[in-house]
Structure formats: C-alpha cells, structure tokens
Amino acid sequence: MTEQKPQEDSANRWSHNRILTVSLRTVNRGRRAAGILTYSEMRSVKRRLWWAMAVVVILSILVATIGNYISTVRTPTEAIEKHFNNLRDGRYFRAMDRSAYGDDSVVFLKNSIYRQSPGRVESYSIEEIQESGNTATAQVKVKADGKEQLVRLNVVKDHKTGIFNDAWQLAEPGQKLLSVENSFPLDEFFINGYAVDLPDTGAFSPEESSLWKVALLPGKFEFGMPKDSYYSVVGGSYSVGVGFDQGSLKPLQYKLRPSYRMWSETDQEINKWVQECMNSRSLSPEGCPASKTPSEKNITEVEWNLISRPVMYLEQDSQKGDTWHASKYKPAEFAVTYEKNGKKITEKISTPIDATVVSSGKSASIEVKAGEPSESSASPSAKGTDR
C-alpha cells in the first residue's frame, strides 16, 4: 500500500493537467472563432460599406447640383434683379464684377462705406427686356438721389461646362475704376468719412508717383484725408460721382499739404530741441548752436538763451515727396554767456533751424538740429505752409 501511493498521485496529476489543457484549447478555439469572420461574412460587410459610400457620394453630388441650380442666374430678368438688389442694399462685393480682382493696385471699399454713398439706388423697376439668343437688353427705371432715370443695361449668357451651369450676367462690369494719384506713397485716405488702407505693392506709376485704382459702383463719393493724418487736402476734399451709364472716370490727382498735426508736432519738437540746447552747460553742445570760442579751458558759468526764432514754414523736398523741411529763410538768434578767467562774456549766434519731417500719412519721423549758416535762404517758398 505504501509503494502504490506515489503512482496514484502521479496518475491523478497527469489526468488533471490533461483536462486543464483540453479546457484551455477549447477556450482559445472559442476566442478565435469570435474574432474571425468567415469569407461570406467578410463579403457581406464589404458590400454594406460600398453601398454606404455610394449613397454618401450620390447625396453629395445631388446637394451640390441642387445648390448650383438654385444659385445660378438662369434668366436675363434674374441677372438684372440680382444686380440692382445688391446696389440698393449696399452689398458692395456682391455687386462687384470678378474682373476687378487680381490687380494688387485695386482698392476695394467696405460695404459700410458704400452704404453711406449718396446717389445710390433707392428703388427700381424693370420696364422692358428684349432677349435675342445669348444676349438681352433691359430698360430699367431707377430712382436715385430722389430722381428717376431710365437706365439701359445689356446682359449676356455665359456658357460653362456641365449641366445647369449656363448663367446670365452683365455684359459690362458694374464697377468703374478711378485712378487716384499722389506724388508720394500714402498709408490711407478717406472715402465718405471712412479710412481706407492703401496697398504698398503695385501702386507706382512710371513717373515715380503713387497710383491706386479704386473700384466704385454707382453713387457719390467724397475723397479726403483722415482728421488725424499728417496731411490735408488742398481745398478740403474731392467729390466723385459715378452714374449708371458712366464712361471712364477722370483720374483724381491728390494735392496735399502738411496738416495742422504735422505743423504742431514739428513746432513742439523744435521747442523741445531749443530747451535741450538752453539746458546745456557747454559752449558747443552736440546738434545745437556753437560758440566761436575755440577752447573751453577756464570757461565757467555757461548759459544759453534764445533771442528769437522765425515763424515756421514747411517746404516739400524737391526730390522726395514725403519729406518736408522747415524753411531756412531766416536764422534763429541765440545768446551764450560765460565767464573766462573771471571775465563775463556774451556771444550772439545766428543759425538756421534744420527740421525735417518724413511722413506717409499715419505716422511721422521728425528730426531737429542746428543748420549751417550758409543754408539760410531768402524767403519761404509759396509751396510751404505755416499754421
């Protein structure tokens, strides 16, 4: 009995291990069966996925086709109504023909600027449309600025690739390009009381002046400069009217002069420079009038005073339009008093004030220093300006 017990324990362990192995195999088979599709099941899933993709594509094409059909202008009447509705409601960019885009020198307005334009369409009615093939001519009664007028408008059919893509549109662009020229670059100008930023690329004519093309729709427009600009328009502003049967617009030549802001800030910088020179205790302060005394040895009690300075006039540089100089028609008078070896001495010094302003409208760089006595000129130019 004692000898048989180890054999029985070994047999029991073998039987238990075999049962456990078979059980694990069965479990693993079940897991593999749950994670693997049969061939027929795989084909079924693929068919369902392809059908879902096909439905999505068909629906997308259908939605795009319906949207294109709805948005396409299919008759001459729709083309006329669309254009005049945009003009009446002040939708500037919708009324703009795509031919205006692509030129860097073209300046576009905001809808808010166009809505402030007097002379814009108040109401309209289509009186007659004569259609002939791919062209049509419309007679439209338009009320603008309180007055009615009969406007003739031509439309054409634009043939495009694809179904439902043929569209009617204006035969001629609804906008007119106004050439605005200035002798130097500007950051902005005013139209109907709103600031319009100007591009700095593609805006230079062969004559070295700046040229912009402003896209305008029917209405009246007031051109000027912002109140806080360093420039003002000679005469105040320019008025430009665009009619419904308008031909080419006459170019607008800006004539600018320093504004009160430029004059005021330049005058302030001159006063600041004078005060800095007066506070110096040197006979030859940098950038200021200088004493004729060759050496400051044994010099004490140096004191500067301004006797007089001329009324300031600003004159445009003959080479750079955005640069202005304070006229040197008359020098400023200074007095410097000092003691040398116990003796009090006073010198009177005459020197022009060299003030230079560089501005493109929004900002300005102002530099002030003492000029050379030989720079004094006879009288201020007629082109200059005082306050």
Q: Return all residues near 180 (Cβ < 8 A) that are at least 6 apart.
A: 107, 189, 211, 212, 213, 214, 223, 251, 252, 254
Phi–psi pair at 108, nearest 5 degrees? -105, 150
* Mean pLDDT across 263-273: 95
Q: Name which of 129-133, 163-167, 219-223 the model is least confident about.
A: 163-167
Q: Which residues pair with 355 in a beta bridge?
A: 368
Report the distance separating Cα 256 and Cα 239, nearest Å: 15
Q: How many CB atoms lie within 10 A of CB 205?
A: 11
pLDDT score, position 378? 39
Q: How many CB atoms lie within 10 A of CB 68?
A: 14
Written as six digits, the tokens of 175 are 């906008």
Confidence class for position 362, pLDDT limits 50, 70, 90: very high
pLDDT above 70: residue 6:
no
Q: Any idea which residue has 């324990």 for tokens?
A: 9
* Torsion sign (Cα): 270, 274, 277, 279: negative
pLDDT score, position 50? 78
pLDDT above 80: residue 271:
yes
pLDDT above 60: residue 223:
yes
pLDDT score, position 111? 92
pLDDT score, position 57? 73
Q: Name which of 65-69, 77-81, 95-99, 199-203 the model is least confident about.
A: 65-69
pLDDT score, position 237? 92
pLDDT score, position 2? 45
Confidence class for position 380, pLDDT limits 50, 70, 90: very low
pLDDT above 60: residue 151:
yes
pLDDT score, position 373? 65
Mean pLDDT taken over the chain = 81
* Mean pLDDT across 38-67: 71
